[in-house]
Amino acid sequence: MKTIRLLTTLALLITSGAAFAQTTSTVVTDSKSNSTVSTDADSRTFVISPPPSAITPSVSSSSSDLCTVGVAGAVQTQILGISSGETVRDPNCERLKISKTLYDMGMKVAAVSVLCQDRRVWDAMNMAGTPCPFLGDIGDKATVQWEAPENAGRIPTIEEMETKSDVQKRNGAIAAGGIGLGLLLLLL
């Protein structure tokens, strides 16, 4: 058994010595390259820039207590850009604010009188059996004054309400005018 161990140990020593051996070799690479490039071409450069843009101005009231509405718009073609904006008064909002202020100050008849300048309110008050005040008179005295022929011109005029088809016709006419103007500008 001793001899087997001795032979195994010698075999391991011989094989492990071969594993520690190093080999050195030198690799030499030599290459030469010649290249000639000749181009003969016409070149063009295209510059693509973003189109100009007409920016709609921001039109708003500085306080929410004002009865104005901001309206703005912009149109841009390849040549010309136009933008505009403005504020538009809202008379019904003004009427409501004035009426509320008068009511808050305890002037209820004056507050109702301001609202009665709108024909819809005037009709509603008559339908309810409480006519609008007339020069300080209220109730039946006001009714007699409103029915007098000389005061017929003081009754608020009936305002025609726009229907959906009216709005569509108006918007169609505006769009047609805008398209016509745009085509005219393109021809320039």
Residue that has been written with the tokens 């609008």 in this structure: 132
pTM for this structure? 0.49
Say how many residues make up the chain. 188
Handedness of CA 138, 139, 142, 146 (dihedral sign): positive
Listed as own residue / partner, the contacts of 177-186 with beta carbons closer than 8 Å and 24 or more positions apart are 178/75, 182/75, 182/77, 185/77, 185/79, 185/80, 186/77, 186/78, 186/79
Q: pLDDT, tens digit, for every residue of 114-171?
A: 999 888 888 888 888 888 888 888 888 888 888 888 888 888 888 777 787 888 888 8
Q: Which amino acid is at 13?
A: L
